């Protein structure tokens, strides 16, 4: 009986990091990196930075930053990144649709299939990116509560690990 009482209590298992947040973070890193790569290629091709390219770079940096926070679990909350991703995804989706409609119109005017092929490819890539941002935003919102719980527990674990050393130093 005394053996049972002398054993240390078993710690409760820590919750697993939410996969929805991890997946959203990976999507943001990939899309943000592609945005930065495309912007850099345009700067090299043109030799100067336009306002749309600078905005693309800004959103690319923000996406990579949100992704790193999502993968590492360093963000306080996922609400802002999730809403921002959904809004940006809707904006990019509208641009992709506009590009596709413009390519269709140009192919009719020029009676050539070249504008629809090139414009269709560009519009398709833009729409896929938009779907990625929309998906990452939804994942971030869906996993928000589990992420907040995980962060709270991680914070409690860190403070409980620091507490004994703080108590020892205050006693001496």
Q: Is 5 helix (H, G, I), strand (E, B) or coil?
A: helix
CA distances, 48 to each of 54, 59, 62, 104, 136 (Å): 10, 18, 22, 30, 31
Residue 55 confidence (pLDDT) above 60: yes
Angle at 126 between CA 67 and CA 18, to 5 degrees: 25
- Report if pTM > 0.85: no
Residue 166 confidence (pLDDT) above 60: no
* 156 vs 11: CA distance, rounded Å: 13
Tokens 């020029």 sit on residue: 110
Under 8 Å between Cβ of 140 and 121: no
* 122 vs 120: CA distance, rounded Å: 5
Residue 144 CA from chain centroid, whole number: 13
Provide the pLDDT for residue 3.
56
pLDDT band at 43 (very low <50, low <70, confident <90, very high): confident
Provide the pLDDT for residue 111.
76
Task: Locate the DSSP E strands across 19-126.
Answer: none
* 148 vs 140: CA distance, rounded Å: 11
Mean pLDDT, all residues of the chain: 87
Kindly report, residue by residue over 118-142, the tens digit of the pLDDT.
Answer: 888 989 999 999 999 999 999 999 9
pLDDT band at 164 (very low <50, low <70, confident <90, very high): low
Residue 172 confidence (pLDDT) above 80: no
Provide the pLDDT for residue 4.
55
């Amino acid at each position: 009986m005394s053996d049972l009482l002398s054993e240390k209590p078993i710690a409760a298992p820590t919750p697993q990091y939410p996969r929805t947040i991890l997946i959203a973070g990976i999507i943001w890193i990939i899309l943000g990196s592609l945005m930065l790569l495309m912007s850099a290629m345009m700067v090299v091709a043109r030799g100067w930075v336009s306002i749309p390219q600078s905005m693309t770079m800004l959103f690319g940096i923000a996406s990579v930053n949100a992704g790193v926070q999502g993968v590492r679990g360093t963000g306080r909350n996922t609400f802002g990144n999730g809403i921002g991703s959904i809004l940006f995804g809707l904006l990019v989706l509208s641009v992709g649709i506009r590009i596709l409609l413009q390519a269709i119109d140009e192919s009719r005017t020029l009676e050539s299939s070249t504008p629809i092929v090139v414009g269709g490819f560009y519009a398709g890539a833009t729409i896929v990116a938009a779907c990625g941002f929309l998906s990452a935003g939804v994942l971030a919102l869906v996993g928000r509560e589990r992420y907040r719980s995980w962060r709270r527990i991680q914070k409690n674990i860190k403070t409980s690990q620091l507490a004994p050393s703080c108590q020892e130093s205050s006693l001496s």
